[in-house]
Structure 1
């Protein structure tokens, strides 16, 4: 009991511990009640604090959350990037410290304007949910964005996921924060009426039965997992064995309508590989199959001569070339390259000089029985952007995403990445085929559930039937505007009813 009393007397420690447990609410653990408990702990730590102190305590929360949640970055920096262990740990810590400033900023305003002692709990509850959504949205685009570790990601398999096609993962975050606030303030104020907000859960359950899109056809799809070790993947002498391995696996599945290879399955530039592509293209045509692969691309002429892209190429019965738009800082391009390039081996990883693709690129095409299907492609990190995926999915029949999560080994990163991809399928109610080098390779249905998945760290090929679907979910039609409007109304209402006697 004495230990508990001492703990309660340390609000910064409570905030830190609340943040440390947060990542266990999402993949691969999916202990979703922890997300609610974590946010309740944060609210408890803010009780009666000043706005400045609230920002400090929230920073401790964020530091704990991101230190655990993005610890997988260490693997790419140390194991594959050659960064000394101590320095890699320090850089992960600095990254977590930076990310923690975002919730600290938004909860500073929460404490100052909406959570003072004299304000009504109902205002604090709604404002907390609104500002939590605003914080996650801001983090999703500021400085290219990092839309990872959202509170809504914990609700992939709960009743709340029925809201995902309407309000996306951001709406799920809003309701998770609202749930935490409702329970916290009902306990603190001994007012069970606040629990009425939990009605969003059974409504979400009912919404799970709504189909916003409809089936138009079916494709037999295959996703090839080459399992090429990261340490040899980019060696020149490994190029031919890698291509031969992928082609050998593919030849066993030419009866599929679509075959998908992972990100940079081809480790040589397209212009240097064109003769081989022509041969594979003809083989795919002869078997009436579309082959889609990741491949690095270089312009050899014109105004963009010498420019490199991380790309996806469709050949055989399909066609199209897509250049990645959402690049990973320090992985695919180096900010302030002329200053920091060469300082650490991590800043000189293979293929770290890509350029961003154009915003207006046509979707890939695949053909079956003279019917054309539009495929929305996403390379690795792109799948984590909800609005970006929803925009490209509007005219598509299905989604594909390719990745090479071997950079992160058997850490939390690949599992979190897979779950995020499932959320995108749920938001757009499209089937999603995912091909990776070492795993996780899977087919996800329009409800965000995995239909079939390959074991990780094995050379194998997934084959299954995927529905093609048409139609738009409310999120695809209206984006985040409903959440923006609700958030603005809540914040304005809170300011209007704020007690002017409260000392800021």
Structure 2
């Protein structure tokens, strides 16, 4: 029965083939947060394998014509994957519908169409070394892994919902990322998820099942071992206490001049709440991204109010807009920042966002697009400017933090530029743009993996959630649900020295890629001699 089903998929053509690929890609999104139904990919990837089995090139066509069938399979699969996984981006444009509703089709369909090109290139590369049996599974894993690697940095990068996240629903299944990185987990996941395709065609089934069994056993076994080595309580006896403030301010109110005082007071009220555990006084308080509705250097009363809210020795790390007008020739520049404020109301440190959101915080090709009447969604006259480099934040005398603002937390490469290991990753964000959609859940999972990759605990403050403290193993110490209003008082977990640094993880990744490419090429050579 499965053989007939696979055969029917292989023989599909025209719109039926495109629709099947689109639906298979969309179904794979169920493996991602908030669903975490990883079994969905055991359906989607075999369908993609069978579609590629039937994507034979026409030898009478030119190079591009021969690539077209395999590219189309990957593109339609990717289009379905990204439409189903990113449709919630349209919610951000409804916040100011009068100005930006026209762009909803570009966000919901246009961006997925562009991202799907990477999958199309990946399946084209895979089909170039396609064979039968397990060799074609290796070819697909190689092609799509290269595509996902390129997507992580090309054109500023957008590695949102990388395939490997579908294989990491719980901390037990996350630990392998410390050895081979997110892209390495992606390669292994594609192999495992694609192996059921061999059940229909039989050839290479033993090799495929054996390989998948070894990968799954190693993946989960390593996770179990690592967690068994972790202390049940990841914080030391003298751990500093952090308070995370989650006010859940609706996005339509965030930049309202009439609501500024109410918004600021809401943050202060949560800051002033008594400790959840008697005697456990927070030494660090964290407010979310752009939580301060004023330019702090121009609002001495706000700094005074913050000073009154802080006890001796306490520090506040708050998301705020920073203005730099020190260079008149360059004009006024606005930065999306984290500002550290001491108990006397003085600004002791600040870090600006490095990796800005295209079209959200700045306009690519600004002169041209501005001439067409377009503007960035961010509420500044000229959009935000990017910091020249990422710097660590010194919070008081005891905590060093790596600041990641909003979607900077989705980029593994953004953690590479820091030489000295920080005590914590400090991630502030405002996901209220996206409402009660999968977006905030996906965002949190990716931030969670960043902490685990570097074995560095994460303190995450999100305006409407998901706020949390996670330890170096990706385990949630404490958190607040989406759209909850409240605070978290939690001890800051200790950082764990990782067994593999980034250079070693990259070495392991390319070793994996080389091995899977070798299998694919040998299988292809054997296939051609038959």
Superposed pair shares fold, TM > 0.5: yes
SS state of the match for residue 153, structure 2? Answer: helix
Distance 2:306 2:106 in 1: 46
Which of residues 328, 336, 354 in structure 2 aligns to 1:310? 336
In structure 1, the partner of 2:356 is 327
Distance 1:342 1:226 in 2: 38
CA 1:91–1:425 in 2, change beyond 3 Å: closer, same or farther?
A: closer
Q: CA deviation at 1:360?
A: 4.4
Q: CA deviation at 1:373?
A: 1.9
Q: What pairs with 1:224-303 in structure 2 (closer than 5 Å)?
A: 224-252=245-273, 255-274=281-300, 276-277=302-303, 280-281=306-307, 284=310, 286-302=311-327
SS state of the match for residue 125, structure 1? Answer: helix
Which of residues 210, 229, 253 in structure 2 aligns to 1:196? 210
Distance 2:157 2:522 in 1: 32
Instruction: Verify the 8 A CA contact 2:244 2:286 in the aligned structure 1.
Output: yes
Unaligned ranges ≥5, structure 1: none
Instruction: Verify the 8 A CA contact 1:23 1:69 in the aligned structure 2.
Output: yes
1:341 is the counterpart of 2:370: yes
Instruction: Verify the 8 A CA contact 1:390 1:427 in the aligned structure 2.
Output: no
CA 1:499–1:474 in 2, change beyond 3 Å: closer, same or farther?
A: same
Q: CA deviation at 1:410?
A: 1.0
Q: CA deviation at 1:157?
A: 2.9
CA 1:482–1:312 in 2, change beyond 3 Å: closer, same or farther?
A: same
Q: CA deviation at 1:312?
A: 0.4
Which of residues 87, 91, 94 in structure 2 aligns to 1:75? 91
Q: CA deviation at 1:405?
A: 0.6
1:355 is the counterpart of 2:391: no
SS state of the match for residue 299, structure 2? Answer: helix
Q: CA deviation at 1:194?
A: 2.0
Greater Cα offset, 137-146 or 127-136: 127-136
1:64 is the counterpart of 2:94: no
Instruction: Verify the 8 A CA contact 2:73 2:123 in the aligned structure 1.
Output: no
Instruction: Verify the 8 A CA contact 2:10 2:53 in the aligned structure 1.
Output: no
Greater Cα offset, 29-38 or 477-486: 477-486
Instruction: Verify the 8 A CA contact 1:77 1:346 in the aligned structure 2.
Output: no
Distance 1:458 1:358 in 2: 35
How large is the Cα RMSD of the aligned pairs? 3.0
In structure 2, the partner of 1:43 is 49
Distance 2:305 2:139 in 1: 60
Distance 1:433 1:253 in 2: 20
Q: What pairs with 1:186-225 in structure 2 (closer than 5 Å)?
A: 187-190=200-203, 191-198=205-212, 199-208=214-223, 209-210=225-226, 218-225=239-246
In structure 1, the partner of 2:456 is 430
Distance 2:250 2:103 in 1: 24
CA-to-aligned-CA distance 1:210-236 (integer Å, 9 cap, x gap): 259986652211111122221121112
CA 1:470–1:394 in 2, change beyond 3 Å: closer, same or farther?
A: farther
SS state of the match for residue 218, structure 1? Answer: coil
CA 1:493–1:229 in 2, change beyond 3 Å: closer, same or farther?
A: closer
CA-to-aligned-CA distance 1:6-60 (integer Å, 9 cap, x gap): 6664333321211110111100000011123211211111114224201111111
Q: In the comparison of the two structures, how many residue pairs are matched? A: 494
Q: CA deviation at 1:481?
A: 2.8
1:123 is the counterpart of 2:135: yes
Q: What pairs with 1:346-495 in structure 2 (closer than 5 Å)?
A: 347-351=376-380, 353-361=383-391, 363-367=392-396, 372-389=398-415, 391-392=417-418, 395-488=421-514, 490-491=516-517, 494-495=520-521
Instruction: Verify the 8 A CA contact 2:322 2:335 in the aligned structure 1.
Output: yes
SS state of the match for residue 402, structure 2? Answer: strand
Instruction: Verify the 8 A CA contact 1:27 1:419 in the aligned structure 2.
Output: yes
Q: CA deviation at 1:78?
A: 2.6
Instruction: Verify the 8 A CA contact 1:427 1:475 in the aligned structure 2.
Output: no
Q: CA deviation at 1:177?
A: 0.5
Instruction: Verify the 8 A CA contact 1:215 1:470 in the aligned structure 2.
Output: no
CA-to-aligned-CA distance 1:399-451 (integer Å, 9 cap, x gap): 12111111111111111111111111222222211111112122222222322
In structure 2, the partner of 1:19 is 25
Greater Cα offset, 94-103 or 207-216: 207-216
1:93 is the counterpart of 2:102: no
CA 1:235–1:79 in 2, change beyond 3 Å: closer, same or farther?
A: closer
Instruction: Verify the 8 A CA contact 1:269 1:297 in the aligned structure 2.
Output: yes
Q: CA deviation at 1:281?
A: 4.3
Instruction: Verify the 8 A CA contact 1:186 1:193 in the aligned structure 2.
Output: no
Distance 1:171 1:334 in 2: 33
Instruction: Verify the 8 A CA contact 2:93 2:103 in the aligned structure 1.
Output: no
Q: CA deviation at 1:136?
A: 0.9
Greater Cα offset, 460-469 or 17-26: 460-469
CA-to-aligned-CA distance 1:75-111 (integer Å, 9 cap, x gap): 0113334357575135421211111111101211110
SS state of the match for residue 322, structure 1? Answer: strand
Unaligned ranges ≥5, structure 2: 58-66, 276-280
Q: TM-score, normalised by structure 2?
A: 0.85
Instruction: Verify the 8 A CA contact 1:434 1:441 in the aligned structure 2.
Output: yes
Distance 1:12 1:297 in 2: 48
CA 1:494–1:205 in 2, change beyond 3 Å: closer, same or farther?
A: closer
Instruction: Verify the 8 A CA contact 1:341 1:348 in the aligned structure 2.
Output: no
SS state of the match for residue 495, structure 2? Answer: strand
Greater Cα offset, 438-447 or 68-77: 438-447
CA-to-aligned-CA distance 1:168-194 (integer Å, 9 cap, x gap): 222221111011233323542343232
In structure 2, the partner of 1:103 is 119
Q: TM-score, normalised by structure 1?
A: 0.89
Instruction: Verify the 8 A CA contact 2:175 2:473 in the aligned structure 1.
Output: no
Distance 2:259 2:374 in 1: 21
SS state of the match for residue 197, structure 2? Answer: helix
Distance 1:377 1:312 in 2: 7
